[in-house]
């Protein structure tokens, strides 16, 4: 017990120390280049915009550092501080069946976690994003979103939790394999449900209004051999002025969605270039590859959890006095990030490789200059830093840094 407690605390200390060190490197890099726009972006991004991006990024890192300390304290309170034990004791006192007790325990933990994270969520939205001119969220909409998310969690997550706990209770020593299969089925189901039933609860999706742009996009889709269930624009501007575009859905429910803010920023050719990049992810099978990697990682995770279920030291070393299937699920979720932190740069490298490949595909079906122009506008409008620390970026960023990505496009 004491040995695993020491191992856990050591892993937690190392991962936290590395994170703080990388944050300081990022802050140093941004501050060192704050007074001059990088040569490649001169004439395209003003010094005022460059400094806004530097200040915005620095502010988010500083707030994120404090949020990290706060999360670390909460983690220790939940585990070694006896928080999970107290919650478990209360839920058990209600004297429900084991499965109902487990579902209620996990949902209660998730609800409490959301409430405890609320101060930083409010500060990020109504202070940081507001200060830099990005927030469009009202207090009424914020509360409405929170209510909908909580209701969805109860309606969607509760049956999944019940099935997994039932498998843990009845499927024998190989329960973890069956639970993994259920999780895969659930993930695929959500990919199908999300664009049609869930996303519309939060945003309004309309067919693309610009008929000229729509015709140009449909021509690109035809040339690339891509079939979708429609082109939509989303009212992202009701929450934020940040712009984006994405694919969503699975099989016949695939759809292409543009934020209304992005459509206002980009010309027709620039929009086509951005879409060609997104199509590159599909045509290069990145979505399937990422699903395969994710499913494999979760298979390993479920297998490890199946072994840990029988290890008393795992529960005791993390401050839990009474082992149970539902506590195992929460403990595993809380403890694993401290041990998997080192995987971050590997996953980031894998993701950046896909971004380069998607850019290469975009160059085959659109002008590289249009994609570069679109990216520069998006960096500018979203206040993305142009001078990240190389090590920080390689650890945290799923996309290549702006100078590296544009240099790749120009080659």
Q: What is d(CA 157, CA 154) in angstroms, rounded to the nearest whole number?
A: 6
Among candidate residues 355, 359, 370, 389, the one labeled active-site is 359
Cβ–Cβ < 8 Å for 272, 361: no
Q: Which two tokens stand for residue 127?
A: 């202070």
Cβ–Cβ < 8 Å for 273, 362: yes
Residues 6+ apart with CB under 8 A from 285: none
Q: What is d(CA 97, CA 99) in angstroms, rounded to the nearest whole number?
A: 6
Among candidate residues 278, 357, 360, 397, the one labeled active-site is 278
Q: What is d(CA 80, CA 75) in angstroms, rounded to the nearest whole number?
A: 8
Q: What is d(CA 180, CA 321) in angstroms, rounded to the nearest whole number?
A: 27
Q: How many CB atoms lie within 10 A of CB 54?
A: 22
Q: What is d(CA 269, CA 208) in angstroms, rounded to the nearest whole number?
A: 16
Rounded to the nearest 5 percent, the helix, strand and coil shares of the chain are: 75, 5, 20
Q: What is d(CA 190, CA 203) in angstroms, rounded to the nearest whole number?
A: 17
Q: What is d(CA 6, CA 2) in angstroms, rounded to the nearest whole number?
A: 6
Q: Is 410 a catalytic residue?
A: no
Q: Is 359 a catalytic residue?
A: yes
> Catalytic site residues?
278, 359
């Amino acid at each position: 017990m004491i040995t695993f407690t020491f191992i856990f605390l050591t892993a937690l200390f190392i991962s936290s120390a590395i994170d703080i060190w990388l944050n300081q490197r990022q802050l140093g890099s941004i501050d060192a280049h704050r007074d001059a726009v990088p040569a490649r972006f001169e004439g395209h991004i003003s010094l005022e915009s460059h400094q806004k991006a530097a200040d915005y990024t620095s502010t988010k890192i500083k707030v994120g550092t404090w949020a990290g300390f706060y999360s670390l304290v909460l983690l220790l309170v939940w585990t070694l501080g006896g928080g999970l034990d107290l919650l478990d004791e209360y839920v058990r006192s209600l004297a429900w069946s084991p499965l109902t007790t487990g579902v209620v325990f996990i949902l209660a933990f998730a609800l409490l976690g959301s409430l405890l994270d609320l101060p930083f969520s409010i500060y990020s939205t109504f202070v940081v994003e507001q200060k830099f001119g990005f927030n469009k969220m009202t207090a009424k909409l914020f509360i409405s979103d929170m209510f909908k998310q909580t209701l969805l969690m109860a309606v969607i997550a509760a049956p999944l939790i019940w099935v997994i706990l039932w498998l843990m209770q009845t499927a024998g020593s190989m329960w973890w394999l069956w639970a993994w299969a259920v999780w895969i089925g659930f993930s695929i189901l959500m990919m199908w449900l999300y664009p049609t039933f869930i996303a519309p609860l939060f945003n309004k999706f309309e067919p693309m209004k610009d008929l000229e742009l729509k015709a140009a996009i449909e021509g690109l889709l035809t040339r690339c051999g891509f079939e979708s269930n429609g082109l939509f624009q989303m009212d992202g501007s009701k929450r934020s002025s940040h712009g984006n575009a994405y694919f969503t859905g699975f099989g016949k429910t695939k759809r292409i969605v543009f934020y209304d803010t992005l459509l206002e920023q980009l010309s027709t050719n620039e929009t086509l270039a951005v879409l060609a990049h997104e199509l590159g992810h599909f045509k290069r099978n990145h979505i399937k590859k990422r699903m395969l990697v994710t499913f494999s990682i979760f298979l390993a995770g479920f297998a490890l959890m199946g072994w840990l279920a029988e290890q008393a030291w795992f529960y005791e070393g993390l401050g839990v006095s009474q082992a149970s299937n539902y506590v195992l699920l929460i403990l595993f979720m809380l403890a694993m990030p401290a041990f998997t932190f080192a995987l971050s740069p590997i996953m980031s490298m894998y993701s950046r490789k896909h971004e380069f490949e998607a850019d290469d595909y975009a160059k085959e079906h659109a002008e590289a200059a249009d994609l570069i122009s679109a990216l520069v506008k998006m960096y500018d409008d979203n206040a993305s830093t142009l001078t990240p620390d190389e090590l920080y970026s390689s650890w945290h960023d799923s996309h290549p840094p702006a100078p590296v990505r544009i240099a790749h496009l120009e080659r």
